[in-house]
Amino acid sequence: MQQQKSKTIFFIFLFCSCVFFCSCLNPFAPELKEQSQPTDLIITNQETPDDVLTNFRYAYIFKDSLIYSELLDSSFIFYYFDPNIGTTGQFVSWGRDLDLKTTGKLYRSFNVIDLVWNTTIYESVQESTAEITKTFNLTLFSNDEGLRINGTAVFSFRKNPSSGIWRINRWKDESNL
């Protein structure tokens, strides 16, 4: 009798365990594309220029325009080279407001965005200003199509003297587009 009762309890436990673990799986859910490690994806207080780049990456991956807006100084300028202007191309720039609108459109246009910071080519950090040049890989997925952008980004940062928060005041994009 005792042996029968033990077997019954064991099978009930086994059945409940299977139900519990299988209930976490959804066979109808789409498989997520492999992204960055979750431990890398934290929001910082922007106490250093590297913290700003950590938040930059977070904002892109999670398409978080609020976090992104906190990265940019009020004097922010974005520069990129447009080869289609004139016969040899030229650098184009815009300010913070247009950059926020453009980045919002980017976030809405792609299902998955992944940004990886690679090598730091140059870094100079002073008391209230800094410059960092990094290589990056930006991968954009929309439906089943992907776009991979590789390049270098040159960032200038400014530290707010009263709050101690660092923000980007200049970003020069040197990507392969």
Distance in angstroms (rounded) separating the CA atoms of residues 140 and 109:
9
In this prediction, residue 42 carries a pLDDT of 87
In this prediction, residue 145 carries a pLDDT of 87
Global confidence as pTM? 0.76
Give, for all 177 residues of the chain, the pLDDT tens digit: 555 655 555 445 444 444 444 444 444 333 444 444 444 578 999 999 999 999 999 999 999 999 999 999 999 999 999 989 988 889 999 999 999 999 999 999 999 999 999 999 999 999 999 999 999 999 999 987 899 999 999 999 999 999 999 999 999 999 876
In this prediction, residue 17 carries a pLDDT of 47
Q: Which residue has the tokens 């978080």?
A: 64
Domains of the chain: 37-175 (3.10.450.50)
Q: Which tens digit of pLDDT belongs to each residue from 127-143?
A: 999 999 999 999 999 98
For 111-126, letters b (16+ CB in 10 Å) and e give eebbbebeeeeeeeee
Residues 148 and 177: beta-carbon distance below 8 Å = no
C-alpha pair distances (Å), 146 with each of 72, 97, 111, 114: 27, 28, 10, 11
In this prediction, residue 86 carries a pLDDT of 87
- 99: three-class secondary structure by DSSP: helix
Residues 134 and 152: beta-carbon distance below 8 Å = yes
**Local structure of residue 94 (DSSP, 8 states):** E
